[in-house]
Structure 1
Amino acid sequence: MFTHKLLNILIPPRCVNCGDSVDIDHALCAVCWKEITFITEPFCETCGQPLEYATSGKGNTTQCMVCHQYPPPYDRGRSLVIYNDAAKKLILRFKHGDSTHLAPSFAAWMKTCEADFFKEADYLIPVPLHWTRLLQRRYNQAALLAMAFIKVIENKPVYAPFMLRRKRRTVSQGHKTIQQRHENVSQAFVVPTCYQNRLKDKGVILIDDVMTTGATLQECARTLKQVGCKKVFILTIARALKGH
């Protein structure tokens, strides 16, 4: 504790976005903080989509119309912020700009939602990259998020990055329609045979940086459910608003 305080005096903490002085490590300054839009209630209890007003779904849960009409293969999902320009700038730096030091900041944000499914998870699985893309990028941002997140939550599921594998390389999802995105990732994932029995009747949290249409996360969840996973939960830093 003393060493940490001494380091903060010698090397004051800086805003992870603009570099201005802040009070604690891995934080945003007040100006940058205002540009981030955190998702608060009401939101869909199934996918985490922010709502203008609460609507009742099955079992009196608050649910968006899409989840009500087309239930996703996962059980519940949460995202912390809306994928606006400010969030996009930070996440793209983390994802493509080698700003891996942002992982603890994002993990702290993700913890604040205190979702009840944190206690139901046996395994924490990052959305995998295909091995060829991993060689190009040198790191999987979802894996870094998962490793940082597991350090800050009380109930610690087993970090299991190899339980889900991307068996074929998919092209970028950018500029694709919703249907094209689902087709692009269809049957792109597999649970290796050696892990299938371990996942039966277990709870899993899938970690990723952004939920856009949800196509990739839905395909991952579908793959896990097919081998007997009892519960699959989704947790991301940000999500794009449906229809945008």
Structure 2
Amino acid sequence: MPVIRTVIFDLPLRVVGGLRDAVFPPGCAHCHVRTGRHGALCPSCWSELRLIERPFCEVLGTPFQRDPGAGMVSAEAIANPPAFDRLRSVAVHDGIARDLVHALKYRDRTDLAPMMAGWMVRAGEEALSSCDCVVSVPLHRSRLFSRMFNQSAELARHVARLSGRRFEPQALVRRKRTSQQVGLTANARELNVRGAFIVPEQLSPAVFGRRIVLVDDVYTTGSTVSSATRALKKAGAADVTVLTFARALSGPI
């Protein structure tokens, strides 16, 4: 057995990759049709992904139907300024984007995280280039025990790796077990997560005065990331950018 292991480890990476592809042919991460490489979508699925591109609100990342000019902010961001400094997302939370999020979150498809994180790095390029660290929205320990992994932490870990930034997985803790947000009204969601997060005292130096990218899988009403941002700002964070894979939108884009 040691001889076999030595032979395998001495093989060039392209040969090992070829052997893997022969046993597990690369397929679309959504529909599983054959593709040229692993960790990708086929052209058909890619064309159905509703990417969020400029022009959009510089604060909330909400797409504009017409280009109002550089640096414009939406009426919503002016009327109700968020707790965070800006929001960036890859795609609208419907169709294929929603399927990918659900597969990662509920079907243990952690193999999707590197691909999704790669797109998130592109969407949050400006914030990541100037941030000090990447933080994920945490699960309560009881939920983490039952689910066995945190999808937001998986995304954040790969976002940090791909962008060359430090990942601080313990910088934010969920101290209150909250109810599932799905099905709750916007007000109920906000009450559900109020005071749910805290920065541990021993981790405060990693947050104080820092520019932080806060990673979550989906942005819906913003109650969860807003509560998390308040905890980070209370601990002295200088700037918080929320970066998600998907973003729920009520109107057309």
Q: Percent identity?
A: 34
Read off the aligned partner of 1:172 and give its amino acid letter. Answer: Q
CA distance in 1, matches of 2:235, 2:67: 34
Quote the residue 2:86 is aligned against: 76
Q: Which stretch of the first structure deviates more once superposed, 161-170 or 27-36?
A: 27-36
Quote the residue 2:107 is aligned against: 97
Read off the aligned partner of 1:164 and give its amino acid letter. Answer: L
Structure 1 residue matching 2:181: 3-state secondary structure: coil
Structure 1 residue matching 2:212: 3-state secondary structure: strand
Quote the residue 1:194 is aligned against: 202
| Native 8 Å contact 2:133 2:211 kept in 1 | yes
| Native 8 Å contact 1:213 1:242 kept in 2 | no
The answer for unaligned runs of 5 or more in structure 1 is none
Quote the residue 2:139 is aligned against: 129
CA-CA distance at 1:112 after TM superposition: 2.2
Read off the aligned partner of 1:196 and give its amino acid letter. Answer: S
Read off the aligned partner of 2:87 and give its amino acid letter. Answer: G
Read off the aligned partner of 1:158 and give its amino acid letter. Answer: R
Moved segments of 4+, more than 4 Å: none
Structure 2 residue matching 1:112: 3-state secondary structure: helix
| Native 8 Å contact 1:203 1:229 kept in 2 | yes
CA-CA distance at 1:9 after TM superposition: 4.9
TM-score (norm 1): 0.92
Query: RMSD of the alignment, in Å?
Result: 1.7
**Cα offsets for 1:164-184 (capped at 9, x unmatched):** 000001101112221111111
CA-CA distance at 1:114 after TM superposition: 5.1
1:92-241 alignment to 2 at 5 Å?
Answer: 92-113=102-123, 115-153=125-163, 156-241=164-249
**Cα offsets for 1:147-202 (capped at 9, x unmatched):** 1222222xx22111111000001101112221111111110000001112332111
Structure 2 residue matching 1:201: 3-state secondary structure: coil
| Cα separation, partners in 2 of 1:158 and 1:147, compared to 1, 3 Å | same
User: Which of 13, 18, 39 is the equivalent residue of 1:6?
Assistant: 18
CA distance in 2, matches of 1:4, 1:205: 35
TM-score (norm 2): 0.89
| Cα separation, partners in 2 of 1:4 and 1:55, compared to 1, 3 Å | farther
CA-CA distance at 1:139 after TM superposition: 0.3
Quote the residue 2:8 is aligned against: none
Read off the aligned partner of 1:121 and give its amino acid letter. Answer: C
| Equivalent pairs, count | 239
| Native 8 Å contact 2:171 2:206 kept in 1 | no
| Native 8 Å contact 1:111 1:152 kept in 2 | yes
| Cα separation, partners in 2 of 1:83 and 1:180, compared to 1, 3 Å | same
| Native 8 Å contact 2:156 2:215 kept in 1 | yes
Read off the aligned partner of 1:199 and give its amino acid letter. Answer: V
**Cα offsets for 1:105-164 (capped at 9, x unmatched):** 1011112225311122111111000001101111000111111222222xx221111110
CA-CA distance at 1:2 after TM superposition: 2.1
1:23 aligns with 2:32: no
1:36 aligns with 2:49: yes
Read off the aligned partner of 2:194 and give its amino acid letter. Answer: S
